[in-house]
């Protein structure tokens, strides 16, 4: 288990190709989690239940595929700038709470 900001920063290493059981991010505090909250990526399930089998105390944040897309959009909207771990965290958590891309400042 790692911190949420570390999990989000390493999403490129997560295989999200399984459309039936997509991997999801879970963290202490779910959408309101702090960067240092304990977090993990768990596989989804066919029923669409958002419960992490590795640690049921963690709450759903976002599917990995959606989180990767948040980071891509963040970069595109900022002229291709490479996001820092904090930028990635902000983009993913904004989407998790608002179901919308993080606006450009």
Residue ranges of domains in the chain: 2-98
Q: Which pLDDT tens digits describe the chain residue by residue (105 residues)?
A: 899 999 999 999 999 888 778 899 999 999 999 999 999 999 876 566 677 877 888 999 999 999 999 999 999 999 999 999 999 999 999 999 999 999 998
Helical (H) or strand (E) element with 65? helix 64-77
CA proximity to 5, closest of 43, 38, 29: 38
26: left (phi over 0), alpha (psi -120 to 50) or beta: beta
Residue 56 confidence (pLDDT): 85
24: left (phi over 0), alpha (psi -120 to 50) or beta: beta
């Amino acid at each position: 288990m790692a911190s949420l900001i570390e999990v989000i920063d390493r999403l490129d290493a997560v295989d999200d190709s399984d459309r039936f059981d997509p991997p999801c991010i879970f963290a202490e505090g779910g959408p309101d989690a702090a960067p240092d909250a304990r977090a993990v990526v768990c596989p989804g399930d066919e029923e669409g239940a958002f419960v992490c089998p590795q640690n049921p105390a963690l709450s759903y944040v976002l599917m990995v595929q959606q989180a990767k897309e948040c980071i891509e959009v963040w970069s595109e909207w900022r002229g291709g700038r490479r996001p820092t771990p904090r930028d990635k965290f902000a983009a993913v958590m904004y989407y998790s709470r608002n179901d919308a891309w993080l606006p450009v400042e």
